[in-house]
Amino acid sequence: MADCRSAAVNTYDLTTFQVAPTELEALLLAHADVSDALVVGVPDIDAGELPMAFVVRRDGSMITEDQLQAFVAGRQCYVYHP
């Protein structure tokens, strides 16, 4: 199966910042409890568009959304929170 995720959108413009969905996906996939991740843009009145992550946990993982957000926050600036 072809991976067409990165072909859809190269970056999301968040006011003066640009966020690449593939960078967020790679960051999430670096977590031991994540087996797959997809980042899409959702409309936002202030920012124009914000990233939203869909994550598949590895079998037996009980990781929470808050734990993943903390993981991302510890590795990227606040703009990159999915």
Number of domains in the chain: 1
Can you give the pTM of this predicted structure?
0.72
Q: If 0-12 CB within 10 Å is exposed, 13-18 middle and 19+ buried, where does residue 33 land?
A: middle
Q: What is the pLDDT of residues 10-69, one digit of tens each?
A: 555 555 556 678 888 999 999 999 999 999 888 888 878 888 999 999 999 999 999 998
CATH number of the domain to which 60 belongs: 3.30.300.30
Contact between 10 and 20 under an 8 Å Cβ cutoff? The reply is yes
Strands in 1-82 per DSSP E: 12-14, 17-19, 34-44, 48-57
Distance, in Å, from the CA atom of 53 to the CA atom of 56, rounded to the nearest integer, reads 10
**Structural domain range at position 30:** 5-80
